[in-house]
Amino acid sequence: MADQWHKGLVTRIVQETHNTRRFWIQIPELEQFSFKAGQFVTLDLPIHEQKNKRWRSYSIASPPDGTNTIELVIVLLEGGAGTNYLFNHVKEGSELVLKGPLGHFVLPEQLDKDLFFICTGTGIAPFRAMAQYIKAHDLAHPPIHLIYGCRQQCDLLYAAEMWDLEKELTDFHYTPTLSRDDDKWSGRKGYVHLIYEELAQRQPAHFFLCGWKNMIDEAKHRILALGYDKHDIHQELYG
């Protein structure tokens, strides 16, 4: 099924921040779109004659819930043909062609080590799906640290939901950090790296990284320097 193309129907669009939108896509031909939290879908957009230049992949931001509808959260990239098409031409009721689920960026089978979810921007999407899946199924789990970097407070995605989840899900810790000055922000400032370095005290752990290449490259280097093994690091690259 993962290699099959399906017609998707855009059922809802919400402008989440000044440059991000949430898209709900239903796959009417399937009763249930089965996937694992953390996986992605690939869209075939009418933006180029060559297939590989039409394809754009996005992590599924919603947890598996037994339905045929998924949610994507997408940032408008300056000069990006794919996101410009999605933002300027796709409306509620539009059809999209997609395939999936794809990818191996999923929860480990045994939740027996601390989980560090480290992300920037829309890289929060797979971690939102994973955390909500753990909550929905009441899975026994180790401490989970969601460390989320954005420029400004207005850029934070799912912020209210994550604060609520911190209260509702035992041992789930949400730490957003802002890289731009914000006098109204009383939380962490700076980049994600100092935070996981503080929290990771050589306890057994999985590090899941999702975001731009520069963040992932630096994080891998720093995590290895903490004494962890490369097999403890899992990544999903954007861009």
At 152-201, the pLDDT tens digits run 999 999 999 999 999 999 999 999 999 997 788 989 999 999 999 999 98
DSSP state of 122: G
Tell me whether residue 109 is in a domain. no
Which residue among 50, 82, 102 closes a domain? 102
Tell me whether residue 136 is in a domain. yes
Count how many domains the chain has.
2
Kindly report the CATH number assigned to the domain that includes residue 210.
Answer: 3.40.50.80
Q: Are 195 and 116 in contact (CB under 8 A)?
A: no
pLDDT of residue 234: 97
Per the document, the length of the chain is 239
Kindly report the CATH number assigned to the domain that includes residue 27.
Answer: 2.40.30.10
On whether both 128 and 166 belong to a single domain, the answer is yes
Mean pLDDT of the chain: 95
Expressed in percent and rounded to 5, the helix, strand and coil fractions of the chain are 25, 35, 40
Q: Where does the chain have alpha helices with state H?
A: 81-88, 125-136, 159-168, 193-199, 213-225
Cα–Cα distance between 178 and 94 in angstroms, integer?
35
pLDDT at residue 19 greater than cutoff 60: yes
| Residue 78 backbone phi and psi in degrees, to 5 | -60, 120
Cα three-residue angle 218-116-225, rounded to 5 degrees:
40
On whether both 132 and 61 belong to a single domain, the answer is no
Other C-beta atoms within 10 Å of 181: how many? 8
Tell me whether residue 215 is in a domain. yes
> Which of 218, 234, 211 is CA-nearest to residue 157?
211
Tens digit of each residue's pLDDT (9 = 90 or more) over 54-78: 999 999 999 999 999 999 999 999 9
On whether both 170 and 210 belong to a single domain, the answer is yes
On whether both 9 and 72 belong to a single domain, the answer is yes
pLDDT band at 51 (very low <50, low <70, confident <90, very high): confident
- Total-model pTM: 0.96
Cα–Cα distance between 27 and 32 in angstroms, integer?
8
Tokens 């914000």 belong to which residue? 182
- The domain in which residue 141 lies consists of 114-238
On whether both 119 and 174 belong to a single domain, the answer is yes
On whether both 127 and 154 belong to a single domain, the answer is yes
Cα–Cα distance between 148 and 150 in angstroms, integer?
7
On whether both 123 and 63 belong to a single domain, the answer is no
On whether both 206 and 161 belong to a single domain, the answer is yes
